[in-house]
Amino acid sequence: MTDTTSFPPLKNDLIIRAARGEKTERAPVWVMRQAGRYLPEFRAERVENDFFKICRTPELATKVTLQPIDRYDGLLDASIIFSDILVIPQAMGMTVEMVPGKGPHFPTPLVVPADMAVQLKEKVDVNQELQYVFDAITMTRHALNGRVPLIGFVGAPWTLMAYMIEGGGSKTLSKAKEWIFKHPKESHELLSRITDVCVDFLIGQVLAGAQMLQVFESWGGELGPHDFEHFSLPYLAQIVKRVKLELGEKAVPMAIFAKGSWYALEKLSLIGYETVSLDWTHTPESAKAITQGRVTLQGNMDPNVLYGGDEAIVAAATRMVRGFGSTRRYIANLGHGILPTVPVEAMELFLKTVHRVGLEVAAE
Ligand code: CP3
């Protein structure tokens, strides 16, 4: 489990090549939140074990990470380590619980800036606090046996700050926004402190065996263009720059997903990430025109199409793969995480359609 020097050779490197801008035989595909709630085998695991217990037990995290890879054998071109973006607030000293059916809950969120000194550790040693994620990554890399690459991830600083202040999900993010408007200096301090942990954590994940990285700015779109530029973008830029400075420019491809931040696509394609992940508010044509082949585009079917029945799934997946083009600078995915009540057959049809249309486009 601890051997990080001799992993089995990779048999499917489509996603890595797509991220690097190399030609691929077809568009690779994976799905955000592919390991989890919609899978009966995951729900069975959750009856036995608390969510964060699964995250903290490498054997269980490995098992759950592999569930979609086994179920959709040969159809997924990447795995993503089973964990959560909220392990960083935990590592910084906060308590986070996962309430079944409701989502994350912080019993004592940050209310005023002075709470930072009380609640957050001065220095966070990721090797101490998050070693369990590194162990899960190393164990999963061995268990995958080279079938597909393993993606590591973090939540982006603004999204994590928002959770730490809101204490859970929120419709308006009014508490987190009060901070950025009333306490901009302290907000930047918090964002910087989170950024430092994100950087160390991503580096540690690569050293443990992660072969690609994704940064989730899930609440990016809650900020308008001006505030995104001040409270999100600089930190996203710092993360990619510092990780690549430490590990080398070409060590692992990195992807950024800033949900809702359609207005920032051009800027996101210029800060060093090889891949920009898109939600469904973009057309392939406009996204390609804005990014000019500088980055690989990933996405972007509305996850709700998976509720629309076979015809709707085939039509939307076909339109997506044809629109983005299948053999260069494209990774197929949904435009956000797969939803908990999606039938497993709908996911299978989506994956099979992406494969079929990808090969058709490649042969044309
Ligand atoms: O399959 C994978 O993608 C790997 C694991 C993964 C989880 N969360 C597992 C999970 C990943 C990559 C995440 C990321 C994550 N977590 C994000 C960013 C992606 C996004 O969807 O925008 C966010 C915002 C979170 C925070 C979070 N975790 C919420 C809001 C919730 C509750 C709602 C929900 O999605 O279920 C979680 C819980 C969570 N994270 C579950 C899983 C499998 C379900 C928890 C349970 O079993 O009770």
ipTM: 0.94
Active site residue 33: yes
Instruction: Report phi then psi at 154, rounded to 5.
Output: -140, 160
Residue 215 near residue 257, CB atoms below 8 Å: yes
Is 163 annotated in the active site? yes
Q: For strand 212-217 and strand 79-80, is the pairing parallel, antiparallel, or unpaired?
A: unpaired
Question: Which residue among the candidates 17, 33, 71, 294 is catalytic per the annotation?
Answer: 33
Task: Give the pair of three-digit tokens for residue 215.
Answer: 């940064």
Does residue 32's CB lie within 6 angstroms of at least one atom of ligand 1? Answer: yes
| pLDDT, position 260 | 98
Domains along the sequence of the chain with CATH: 14-363 (3.20.20.210)
Other CB atoms within a 10 A radius of the CB of residue 204 amount to 18
Of all protein residues, whose CA lies closest to atom 10 belonging to ligand 1?
84
Q: Is 82 in the pocket of ligand 1 (CB under 6 A)?
A: yes
How far the first Cα of the chain sits from its last, in Å, is: 45
- Give, for all 364 residues of the chain, the pLDDT tens digit: 567 879 999 999 999 999 999 999 999 999 999 999 999 999 999 999 999 999 999 999 999 999 999 999 999 999 999 999 999 999 999 999 999 888 999 999 999 999 999 999 999 999 999 999 999 999 999 999 999 999 999 999 999 999 999 999 999 999 999 999 999 999 999 999 999 999 999 999 999 999 999 999 999 999 999 999 999 999 999 999 999 999 998 899 999 999 999 999 999 999 999 999 999 999 999 999 999 999 999 999 999 999 999 999 999 999 999 999 988 999 999 999 999 999 999 999 999 999 999 999 999 9
Neighbour count for residue 331 (Cβ, 10 Å): 25
Considering only CA atoms, which residue is closest to atom 32 of ligand 1?
103
CB atoms within 10 A of CB 341: 9
Which atom of ligand 1 lies at the shortest distance from residue 33's CA?
3
Distance CA 242, CA 236 (A): 10
Q: What are phi and psi of 214, to 5 degrees?
A: -130, 135
**Ligand 1 atom closest to 43 (CA):** 47
